[in-house]
Structure 1
Amino acid sequence: MKQLLFIIICALTLTTNAQTDKLQLERELFNLPNVSFTEATKPGDPYLTYDLMVKQPIDHQNPAKGSFYQWVQLRHRGFDLPTVIETNGYFMARSKNEVEQILNANNISVEFRFFGKSGPDSLQWQYLTNTQAASDLHNINQLLRQIYKGKWISTGISKGGQTTIYYKYLYPDDVDMAIPYVAPIDNAFEDTRLYTFMDTIGTPQIRQRLFDFQKLLLMNEDEAIKKLRWYAKGAKMTFNYVGDFGKVFEYAVMEYPFAFWQWGRSADSIPTNKKLDDYLDELMETSSISNFSDSDLKMFGPHYYLAASETGYYGYNIAPFKKYIRHFTSNPTATFPPKEANAKPTDGSFHAGLQKWLAEKGNNILYIYGGIDAWSAARVQVSDKVNSKSFLIPGASHGVARIKNLPENMKTEFAGKIKEWTGLDSKMDVLNRK
């Protein structure tokens, strides 16, 4: 009886504390300027969740040019706990990230400007820059620091990882440390380091198998296109941006090895039986023509605009396939900015400033990369002048390069760096729980 009474008292105490936290948090949020919020907590969640809409200037240098509302999702665990700011590169990420879990931290997830709910009714493309996006994050940081006064850590994956790096570069004092995952820092509109990566990754046998796969498809382009047209029609795809369906096909074929390594496909998935249908099935599974459809290109238009105008990207080396390629005479780019945006090719100035800072002042950053991920061709090379560390996970692809998959010695060093730079303990075992 006494044990049951004790359990009831503990449950009531926890409920009372949670209600107190909720009332205090909502009072604090209500007092923040230019912020509206709604609760989004799900039954059984051990934290409070709120969707915030934060008013942001379209141009942080000239707020008179207008504003928009940016979607921010807050997961509150405690006022005295550390805070993770999750810098999405695209749309809002709703799932819990590793960093908030190992630190039992509050999490502030920010949708990138001009994606999803986070943009003005009419996009003014000249204000889509990494500097403006970092200023969005700084504004959110300054607002929510009034509530969360402990350690702050930034993190993001892929383009979100790029954003983590840019944010640390432009506002180095906003966070105590940064943890970007699989974040490429391209050095040009066509970063040719990728070609070296493709020529050296894996075994010669796998590389030959990839080449033979692409070659057979290109040699059977007419028949392949006939089959793919029916697929595209059934899926109601249009390709007005790219134009010629043959170009769409060749884009998908040239993209294949990049996607193969990015996602860690098995060599056994590459057909060798010369049956065209099997080759097309594998192509569509790994680098589908849908990636080049009007709907997909529109969805990721802001990403392509930034890649073309500021951050750089990659292209396709057609030299080995010159005798089979019909629609390109030079290396095509993998960048498809909205035509109405009139993106001007990057002049490299943003990259030059960033690289200088990373080499000389880019401290307290833990980079995570995958050993076979194609994006690792453009990974940050940490200089010996800064207090940062890069972890390249052997055999890991873009989706596998995560803290939970670090080898044990790396995991120990990773946790040690977090402790050294923030004083926080990392509970790595929580990542192994289902």
Structure 2
Amino acid sequence: MRSSAGNANAGCARGRYVRVRQLAVPLLLAGLLASAGAAPAPAAAGGHPAVPHSTAQHTAAPGPAADELSARLSAIPGMRVVKENPAPAGYRSIELRYRQPVDHRHPGRGTFEQRLFLLHRASDRPMVLNTNGYDLDYQDPALRAEPTEILKSNQISVEQRYFGTSTPHPTDWTKLDIWQAATDHHRIVRALRTIYRAAWISTGGSKGGMATVYHRRFYPHDVAGSVAYSALNNTDDRDDTAEDRFLERVGTPDCRAALTAVQRELLGARRTQMAGRIARAAAAHGDTLHIVGSADRLLEFTTLMLPERFWMAQGEAGCGRIPGRSATGAELYAWLDGVMGLQGYTDPYLSLVTASFYQLGTQLGMTERAAPQLAGMLRYPGIQQIRTLVPRNIPMRFQPAAMPDIDRWVRRHGSELMFVYGENDPVRSEPFRTGPGSRDAHIYVAPHSGHHVRLDKLSPGDRERATATLRRWAAAGSHMDAPPA
């Protein structure tokens, strides 16, 4: 898995950040920010999705005149209507802010506003809670998650606490944990249930899929069902052998051999040249490398992460594009940059997603690759540890009980859960599993797919079963009462 000086530089960094949002790689890839399994966006450099945009026809936003929906939203304590955006046909798209306690255990100790994107279809239609897992800077407010498309429902997309504009100031990092974030989602459900009283379904992709499960663990009755795409379940942060074994088997022997060869090329004969190109590219953008430490350290870190990123993002279709020994330095660098998104590891971009890395270093866990194929080429012991990406002035202490607690709940008590994985996605090496106490819980694997997975990539039979289950949940939960406090 995995600062700029002055306000002017910070603003410039955020402006560029939207274009390379997915290059900063928290959580193995986490550049593939498929919002709740949304359709892949057009590929940007390196096969990563560009800023997602809805393919539906947009309608012009209504004028600013007050209306019943806006009035009802504004009447919710703590809710603020910010603006109306262009929306898909049949929808209204409204940006909201909802005031949340920084610490739900002590609500009097400060608040922040959490950014929300509402897609309103009709108050008597189901509502999909789209747990984004990150910021909403990159997301088109008109983007619909796959369950939203299937159910023709309303949707509320939630920016995760400590990301984007949803960041408390001053920033108390100890209040960034899975329970606090789950409680954010719980309060949002309770607030909006006053308007949307039909069934609620929750969903999320990648880190957002994990957040979907965490919300259900602490507030299991908030929604009628949950669809989690590409959700990692790292229950033992000390043991990453499952992913090592997965990477030893995924794809063809020829493709795996080509990846090993390019890793050895990057850290062998081409190392000085590649590190120099990284340093010059950073300087050309005005970026620094103080957090990672140096261009050479960045090269070693990204080379170690290369196989898992490749299989998440490019997979079988990318095997024929792996550079061989005859590739020029420019070609080799362009390919590495395309797969890894090297600018995402410079200080301005890492600083914007510090919250992701903090979560990995305190609760979610970070995978570290065994690399016997690179014996004698590695210079930096411990380079794969999360501290490489988190400034040292931010204290972190890992909580090893957090993820086993989630896993036990899923296996002993989890109900109305659907997990969807891609066959070639390394995240599938540490998946959520059902257990003797699981009820109405399902796991699906999409053939020949990576991290960007959808129900429509499943086999026909699985797709039909999964869609039927989703519709059943929505129908069964259509008369749910407001969730308990």
CA distance in 2, matches of 1:44, 1:270: 39
The structure having more radius of gyration, on CA atoms, is 1
Please show how residues 247-326 of structure 1 align to structure 2 within 5 Å.
247-265=297-315, 266-277=318-329, 278-326=331-379
1:318/1:325 contact within 8 Å kept: no
Over 3 Å counting, the alpha-carbon distance change for 1:104 and 1:50 in structure 2 is same
CA distance in 2, matches of 1:228, 1:52: 40
Structure 2 counterpart of 1:51, from 65, 84, 95: 95
Alignment length (residue pairs): 403
Structure 1: gaps (5+ residues) = 1-17, 426-434
Please show how residues 164-243 of structure 1 align to structure 2 within 5 Å.
164-192=212-240, 193-220=242-269, 221-243=271-293
- The corresponding residue for 1:9 is none
> For 1:364, what is the secondary structure of its paired residue?
strand
Over 3 Å counting, the alpha-carbon distance change for 1:300 and 1:189 in structure 2 is farther
Residue identity matched to 2:165: K
- The corresponding residue for 1:131 is 179
Residue identity matched to 1:203: T
Q: Does 1:340 align with 2:389?
A: no
1:418/1:424 contact within 8 Å kept: no
1:73/1:110 contact within 8 Å kept: yes
CA RMSD of aligned residues (A): 2.0
Residue identity matched to 1:80: D
CA drift of 1:333 comes to 2.3
> For 1:339, what is the secondary structure of its paired residue?
coil
> For 1:154, what is the secondary structure of its paired residue?
strand
1:373/1:397 contact within 8 Å kept: yes
Structure 2 counterpart of 1:42, from 83, 86, 89: 86
* TM-score normalised to structure 1 length: 0.88
- The corresponding residue for 2:164 is 116
CA distance in 2, matches of 1:158, 1:72: 19
CA distance in 2, matches of 1:414, 1:150: 20
CA drift of 1:211 comes to 0.6
> For 2:108, what is the secondary structure of its paired residue?
helix
CA drift of 1:190 comes to 4.9
CA distance in 2, matches of 1:361, 1:338: 38
CA drift of 1:376 comes to 1.7
Over 3 Å counting, the alpha-carbon distance change for 1:175 and 1:130 in structure 2 is same
* Residue deviations 1:89-119 (CA, integer Å, cap 9, x gap): 1012332111111101111111000111112
2:85/2:95 contact within 8 Å kept: no
CA distance in 1, matches of 2:152, 2:442: 23
Structure 2: gaps (5+ residues) = 1-61, 478-485
Q: Which moved more, 1:378-387 or 1:115-124?
A: 378-387
CA drift of 1:269 comes to 1.1
CA drift of 1:291 comes to 3.0
* Residue deviations 1:231-252 (CA, integer Å, cap 9, x gap): 2222222110111321111111
Higher relative contact order (CA 8 A, sep 6+): 2
**Structure with more of its chain in helix, by fraction:** 1
> For 1:90, what is the secondary structure of its paired residue?
coil
* TM-score normalised to structure 2 length: 0.79
CA distance in 1, matches of 2:294, 2:78: 47
Please show how residues 61-140 of structure 1 align to structure 2 within 5 Å.
61-92=105-136, 93=139, 94=141, 95-140=143-188
> For 1:418, what is the secondary structure of its paired residue?
helix
Q: Percent identity?
A: 25
- The corresponding residue for 1:60 is 104
Structure 1's consecutive aligned runs of 4 or more residues displaced over 4 angstroms after TM superposition are: none
Structure 1 counterpart of 2:435, from 354, 378, 383: 383
* Residue deviations 1:141-168 (CA, integer Å, cap 9, x gap): 1100111111000011111111001001
